């Protein structure tokens, strides 16, 4: 049975049991503390905790998931995958243990010709929480599984929680498939043997979890407002069992990539060695990357982008270990797309964009590999020249951190060079980096308010936004939050969050900054300045307000007042963002899709998928198309409609955004610009006034950013440029059309003058050389010239003078160490001749110890080496280090 068919049957079964079928959410998690959607229940947590009223009593979904905490185990076990699909059925206070157990058993054991999966009950085992007599008895009542195959286990395996305080928790019951004695020992799931594959987890959510106790357990804060059911079925695990293969990597959605990788490498899969693991890693990671890019993730150096980049580079590394050093993504990604398109048609529709991003990342890393190889070669040469048998762990860490080299790749290269790697130093630096990352994550989590404080207010209903048509609105205070806790009132001088039943103030979302404005009330003489407007939970708006005068209390009537000037300018900027997006597609083609945006009064920026800088001509064309749309005075039309109808009209959605069944479509110039957007906009494009493109830059290997001033700010920027041109024409005494030529001429004259000065400085240095050589001292049978040269034109002068000095000192053992100061920073060069090297002198070693004194670093070969630093005043101490090292030989 194909994986897509398992998905179809699962959803059909629960739809027949009156469950609402909910489409998969994005792999990009809405939770700011979590990068990815890691389980099928994640999108439903607000309903389970009661923070947001559930729109349906029971639901079912097949959710796309990504987990990277076990990435090193991928390929080694039959069940660890980075991307996987989790089917789930959920009840929000509707049914509980009995029904959940009955549904699971029925679907698993119903014959395939009747719509089920056809598992034999004799192959199934069940586990329950050790104290859960209720679940144990339901299994005996509702299934044919005997008591001896229902095992009671502890909290470490059969008690589930959402992983953080405020989330749901409760006992669970897991269903396992016994693969038979050929796969391991007898004894059931309690043995924790790979023979028993977990295929379904039924979680009985009854409690709200509290803080960790420090020993792996956590406190329970009490019963949830309603008992919920969350279940998870692993489609990949079900698939490899029903398809009669040994692991998830051999299923229909993964095996084609594995086979193509084997063909490219000439390796044979199935021998049970390291090659099998590498081929599985390639197959898993290609599919995972395909799905991440589909959901809008771009390779980067942090967060989600770093995870994607790591997956892609692990593919390249494993293909290298399989003997393939050329680009392979154009061979592997189309195969993965073909395997996944039946279940996820979007991977085929969007494959041009997906493949462009993946292929560009591979080419970038192949170039990075070349750069890293050069650094590795230099470090390896220095280690061997210094008589060492191991590569410095700091070098291995730099290769990992800066160039993306996995440590095992560095170790492989070191072994080829006859070296080990100082793993202790590498591991120490890695631990420091991990601790820094954890501390940063803890700080981010600590900065977030406990969202549970909003649940009572959200239960009263959604905050109505009336600001599309009204800038002032009457409202009622339904809640006040101070320092993360609900309070009944606030007075002048306090800054609090105020929850209203409706508001005219726009909350930051969709790339648009929050409105500026105020709250006021005749009751208590209240006046409040709005500092921020956010949506802490779905459907609820929180106003951060500085109480300027009077008092405010729950149930008070207040008036929300939008700063009309700021709103107008913000709307101009947001509408301009849509125009530039459409102009980009006109100029570059449909691949230039928006990946992110930010706009506020007078300013906008837009990130879009593209891998090359825009030429000056393209930027000019982009600006002209945008302002032409402004001049054409297009009507800006907003309409609410179903998501399917909007897509049918060609409306564009932003990757990673979550849309409901009813969406708001903003149309400008008919089909020229149709986008799903909840922001505020002008009524006609002429109201934008002017768009001034001020910058275009890279924000990643496959992402570019354009920035623009809009409206009054655009005019002000042009006026400032005009004033500057006037000042230049006056100062240079040339007409405006000759300013550029005159400035270019002056710049050329300045370059020539600087070049002549540098030549004179270099000649002056060379003239001092005889005097410097006369100052040579004897150290350990070597003539040593160690001198601070003072201010020099550049580091090249120090190097050329050191090499010339070495030549003049002849064939007798000689060492030259010169330090010069260029642009306020020191530069050191050490040169040795063959006779000095025969006595043990090593230029690289001397530069290394001297550069530390200068506050920097450096190195090189034994004959000549170069370094630098930040503190030129330490030149004497640096030269002393050189002399001391020579004396120690």
Cα dihedral sign, 767-771-774-779: negative
Q: What are phi and psi of 79, to 5 degrees?
A: -125, -10
385 has pLDDT over 70: yes
Please tell me the predicted confidence (pLDDT) of residue 656: 52
Q: Measured between alpha carbons, how far is 164 from 181 in angstroms, rounded to an integer?
A: 39
Q: Residues within the annotated binding site for Zn(2+)?
A: 574, 578, 677, 681
305 has pLDDT over 90: no
Please tell me the predicted confidence (pLDDT) of residue 376: 85
Q: What percent of the chain has pLDDT over 70?
A: 95
Which residues lie below 8 Å from residue 263, measured CB to CB, with a gap of 6+? Answer: none
Which residues lie below 8 Å from residue 727, measured CB to CB, with a gap of 6+? Answer: none
Is residue 281 within 8 Å of 318, Cβ to Cβ? yes
Tokens for 882, please give them.
Answer: 């050189």
Q: Which residues pair with residue 30 across a beta bridge?
A: none
Task: Please report how the helices 303-321 and 255-265 are oriented relative to each other, as an axis angle in degrees rounded to 10.
Answer: 50
Is residue 92 within 8 Å of 48, Cβ to Cβ? yes
Token pair 């040169």 is at which residue?
Answer: 831
Confidence of residue 408 (pLDDT cuts 50, 70, 90): low
Q: Looking at residues 201-226, what average pLDDT do you find?
A: 83
Least confident segment among 77-86, 514-523, 567-576, 860-869:
77-86
Architecture of the domain made up of 451-562: Beta Barrel (2.40)
Please tell me the predicted confidence (pLDDT) of residue 353: 86
Is residue 451 within 8 Å of 536, Cβ to Cβ? yes
Please give the CATH topology (third level) of the domain spanning 570-719.
3.30.980
Please tell me the predicted confidence (pLDDT) of residue 545: 96
Could you give the 3-state DSSP secondary structure of residue 74? coil
Angle, alpha carbons 521-524-530 (nearest 5°): 45
783 has pLDDT over 50: yes
Which residues lie below 8 Å from residue 282, measured CB to CB, with a gap of 6+? Answer: 257, 258, 261, 315, 318, 319, 322, 332
Q: Note every long-range contact of 529-537, with CB atoms under 8 Å and residues 24 or more positions apart, other chains counting.
A: 530/505, 531/495, 532/508, 533/503, 533/505, 533/506, 533/507, 533/508, 534/507, 534/508, 535/507, 535/508, 535/509, 536/449, 536/451, 536/454, 537/46, 537/51, 537/52, 537/451, 537/454, 537/455, 537/458
How far from 756 is each of 154, 763, 790, 823, CA to CA, in Å? 81, 11, 19, 17
CA 521 to chain CA mean position, Å: 44
Q: Measured between alpha carbons, how far is 285 from 888 in angstroms, rounded to an integer?
A: 53
pLDDT per residue as tens digits for the range 46-88: 888 777 888 999 999 999 999 887 777 788 876 678 999 999 9
Please tell me the predicted confidence (pLDDT) of residue 379: 85
Angle, alpha carbons 354-359-362 (nearest 5°): 130
Is residue 98 within 8 Å of 142, Cβ to Cβ? yes
CA 823 to chain CA mean position, Å: 37
> If you count them, how many residues does the chain have?
889
Least confident segment among 2-6, 73-77, 689-693:
73-77
266 has pLDDT over 60: yes
- For the chain, first and last CA: distance in Å? 74
738 has pLDDT over 90: no
Confidence of residue 705 (pLDDT cuts 50, 70, 90): very high
Q: Measured between alpha carbons, how far is 174 from 131 in angstroms, rounded to an integer?
A: 15
Tokens for 424, please give them.
Answer: 């202790």
520 has pLDDT over 50: yes
Is residue 458 within 8 Å of 537, Cβ to Cβ? yes
414 versus 335: which is more confidently predicted?
A: 335
Could you give the 3-state DSSP secondary structure of residue 856? coil
The continuous run of DSSP H or E covering 552 comes out as strand 551-553
Q: Measured between alpha carbons, how far is 525 from 687 in angstroms, rounded to an integer?
A: 37
Please tell me the predicted confidence (pLDDT) of residue 442: 46
| Max mean pLDDT range (45-54, 434-443, 480-489) | 480-489
Q: Measured between alpha carbons, how far is 662 from 679 in angstroms, rounded to an integer?
A: 15
Q: Measured between alpha carbons, how far is 798 from 769 in angstroms, rounded to an integer?
A: 12
Confidence of residue 378 (pLDDT cuts 50, 70, 90): confident
Burial of 353 (0-12, 13-18, 19+ CB in 10 A): buried
Q: Looking at residues 416-425, what average pLDDT do you find?
A: 84
Confidence of residue 437 (pLDDT cuts 50, 70, 90): low
Indicate where the chain has its CATH 3.10.310.40 domain(s).
768-887
CA dihedral 584, 337, 281, 301 (to 10 degrees): 10
Please tell me the predicted confidence (pLDDT) of residue 11: 96
Tokens for 690, please give them.
Answer: 């002017």
Q: Measured between alpha carbons, how far is 104 from 138 in angstroms, rounded to an integer?
A: 12
Indicate where the chain has its CATH 2.40.30.130 domain(s).
451-562
Indicate where the chain has its CATH 3.30.930.10 domain(s).
3-252
Q: Which residues pair with residue 173 across a beta bridge?
A: 128, 202
Q: Measured between alpha carbons, how far is 695 from 653 in angstroms, rounded to an integer?
A: 25
Indicate where the chain has its CATH 3.30.980.10 domain(s).
570-719
Please tell me the predicted confidence (pLDDT) of residue 191: 92
The CATH class of the 768-887 domain is alpha beta
Q: Looking at residues 670-676, what average pLDDT do you find?
A: 93
How far from 409 is each of 25, 167, 313, 320, 369, CA to CA, in Å? 36, 40, 11, 9, 11
Q: Which of 498, 516, 316, 285 is nearest to 404 (CA)?
A: 316
pLDDT per residue as tens digits for the range 137-186: 999 999 999 999 999 999 889 998 876 777 778 999 999 999 999 999 99
The alpha carbons of the chain give a radius of gyration, in whole angstroms, of 34
Q: Which of 342, 354, 336 is nearest to 258 (CA)?
A: 336
Is residue 302 within 8 Å of 394, Cβ to Cβ? no
10 has pLDDT over 60: yes
Task: Please report how the helices 407-416 and 303-321 are oriented relative to each other, as an axis angle in degrees rounded to 10.
Answer: 30
862 has pLDDT over 80: yes
Q: Residues within the annotated binding site?
A: 574, 578, 677, 681
Q: Measured between alpha carbons, how far is 370 from 359 in angstroms, rounded to an integer?
A: 17
Please tell me the predicted confidence (pLDDT) of residue 317: 84
pLDDT per residue as tens digits for the range 527-544: 999 999 999 888 899 999
Is residue 526 within 8 Å of 556, Cβ to Cβ? yes
Tokens for 864, please give them.
Answer: 């000549």
Q: Looking at residues 686-698, what average pLDDT do you find?
A: 94
Could you give the 3-state DSSP secondary structure of residue 528? strand
Q: Measured between alpha carbons, how far is 857 from 698 in angstroms, rounded to an integer?
A: 29
Cα dihedral sign, 774-776-777-779: negative
User: What does pLDDT average to over the chain?
Assistant: 89
Q: Looking at residues 10-18, what average pLDDT do you find?
A: 96
Is residue 828 within 8 Å of 857, Cβ to Cβ? no
Burial of 67 (0-12, 13-18, 19+ CB in 10 A): middle
CA 197 to chain CA mean position, Å: 32
Q: Looking at residues 521-531, what average pLDDT do you find?
A: 90
The verdict on domain 3-252 having CATH code 3.30.830.10 is no
Tokens for 777, please give them.
Answer: 């001292």
Token pair 């150290």 is at which residue?
Answer: 779
Confidence of residue 447 (pLDDT cuts 50, 70, 90): very low
Q: Looking at residues 371-386, what average pLDDT do you find?
A: 81
What b/e readout covers 627-636, taking b as 16+ CB neighbours within 10 angstroms? bebbeeebeb
Q: Which residues pair with residue 421 across a beta bridge?
A: 391
Confidence of residue 204 (pLDDT cuts 50, 70, 90): very high
């Amino acid at each position: 049975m194909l994986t897509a068919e398992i998905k179809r049957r699962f959803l059909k079964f629960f739809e027949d049991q009156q469950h609402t079928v909910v489409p998969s959410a994005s792999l990009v998690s809405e939770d700011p503390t979590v990068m990815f959607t890691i389980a099928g229940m994640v999108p439903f947590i607000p309903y389970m905790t009661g923070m947001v009223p559930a729109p349906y009593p029971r639901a079912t979904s097949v959710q796309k998931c990504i987990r990277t905490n076990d990435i090193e185990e991928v390929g080694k076990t039959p069940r660890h995958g980075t991307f996987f699909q989790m089917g789930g059925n959920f009840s929000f206070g509707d049914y509980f243990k009995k029904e959940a157990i009955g549904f699971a058993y029925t679907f698993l054991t119903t014959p395939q010709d009747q719509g089920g999966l056809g598992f034999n009950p004799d192959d199934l085992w069940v586990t329950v929480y050790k104290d859960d007599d209720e679940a144990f008895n339901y299994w005996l009542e509702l299934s044919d599984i005997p008591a001896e195959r229902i095992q009671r286990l502890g909290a470490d395996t059969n008690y589930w929680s959402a992983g953080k305080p405020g989330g749901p928790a409760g006992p669970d019951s897991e269903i396992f498939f016994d693969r038979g004695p050929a796969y391991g020992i007898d004894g059931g799931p309690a043995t924790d043997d790979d023979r028993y594959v977990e295929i379904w987890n039924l979680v009985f959510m009854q409690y709200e979890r509290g803080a960790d106790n420090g020993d792996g357990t956590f406190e329970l804060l009490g019963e949830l407002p309603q008992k919920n059911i969350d279940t998870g079925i692993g489609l990949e695990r079900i698939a490899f069992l029903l398809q009669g293969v040994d692991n998830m990597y051999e299923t229909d959605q993964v095996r084609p990539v594995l086979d193509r990788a084997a063909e490219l490498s000439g390796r044979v899969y199935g021998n049970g060695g390291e090659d099998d693991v590498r081929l599985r890693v390639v197959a898993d990671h290609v599919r995972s990357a395909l799905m991440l890019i589909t959901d809008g993730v771009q390779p980067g150096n942090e967060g989600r982008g770093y995870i994607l980049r790591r997956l892609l580079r692990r593919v390249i590394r494993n293909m290298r270990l399989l003997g393939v050093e050329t680009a392979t993504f154009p061979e592997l990604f189309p195969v993965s797309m073909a395997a996944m398109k039946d279940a996820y048609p979007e991977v085929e529709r969007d494959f041009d964009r997906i493949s462009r991003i993946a292929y560009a990342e591979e080419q970038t890393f192949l170039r990075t590999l070349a750069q890293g190889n050069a650094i590795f070669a230099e470090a390896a040469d220095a280690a061997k020249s210094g008589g060492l048998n191991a590569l410095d762990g700091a070098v291995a860490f730099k290769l990992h951190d800066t160039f993306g080299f996995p440590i095992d790749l560095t170790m492989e290269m070191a072994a080829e060079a006859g070296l080990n790697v100082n793993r202790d130093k590498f591991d120490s630096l890695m631990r420091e980096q991990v601790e820094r990352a954890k501390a940063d994550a803890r700080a981010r989590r600590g900065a977030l308010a406990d969202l549970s404080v909003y649940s009572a207010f959200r239960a009263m209903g959604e905050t109505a936004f009336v600001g599309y048509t009204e800038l002032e609105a009457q409202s009622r205070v339904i809640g006040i939050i101070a320092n993360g806790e609900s309070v009944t009132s606030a007075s002048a001088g306090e800054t609090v969050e105020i929850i209203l039943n409706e508001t005219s103030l726009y909350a930051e979302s969709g790339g648009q900054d929050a409105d500026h404005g105020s709250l006021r009330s005749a009751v208590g003489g209240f006046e409040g300045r709005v500092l921020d407007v956010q949506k802490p939970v779905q459907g609820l708006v929180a106003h951060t307000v500085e109480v300027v005068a009077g008092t405010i209390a729950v149930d008070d009537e207040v008036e929300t007042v939008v700063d009309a000037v700021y709103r107008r300018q913000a709307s101009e900027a947001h509408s301009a963002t849509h125009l530039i997006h459409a102009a980009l597609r006109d100029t570059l083609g449909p691949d230039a899709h928006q990946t992110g945006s930010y706009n506020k009064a007078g300013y906008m920026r837009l990130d879009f998928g593209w891998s090359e800088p825009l030429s000056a001509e393209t930027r000019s064309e982009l600006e002209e198309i945008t302002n032409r749309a402004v001049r054409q005075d297009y009507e800006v039309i907003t309409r609410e409609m179903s998501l399917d109808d909007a897509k049918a009209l060609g409306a564009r959605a932003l990757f990673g955004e979550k849309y409901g069944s009813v969406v708001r479509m903003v149309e400008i110039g008919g089909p020229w610009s149709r986008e799903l957007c909840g922001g505020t906009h002008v009524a006609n494009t002429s109201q934008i006034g002017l768009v001034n493109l001020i910058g275009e830059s890279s924000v990643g290997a496959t992402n570019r950013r354009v920035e623009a001033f809009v409206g009054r700010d655009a005019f002000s920027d042009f006026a400032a440029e005009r004033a500057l041109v006037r000042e230049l024409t006056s100062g240079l005494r040339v007409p405006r059309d000759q300013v550029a030529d005159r400035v270019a001429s002056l710049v050329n004259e300045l370059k020539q003058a600087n070049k002549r000065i540098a030549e004179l400085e270099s000649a002056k240095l060379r003239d001092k050389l005889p005097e410097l050589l006369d100052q040579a001292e004897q150290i350990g049978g070597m003539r040593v010239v160690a001198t601070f040269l003072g201010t020099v034109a550049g580091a090249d002068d120090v190097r050329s003078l050191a090499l010339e000095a070495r030549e003049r000192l002849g064939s007798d053992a000689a060492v030259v160490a010169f330090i010069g100061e260029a642009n306020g920073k020191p530069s050191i060069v050490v040169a040795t001749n063959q006779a000095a090297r025969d006595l043990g002198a090593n230029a690289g070693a001397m530069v290394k110890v001297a550069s530390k004194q200068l506050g920097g670093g450096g190195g090189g070969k034994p004959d000549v080496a170069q370094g630098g630093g930040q503190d030129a005043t330490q030149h004497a101490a640096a030269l002393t280090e050189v002399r001391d090292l020579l004396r120690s030989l």
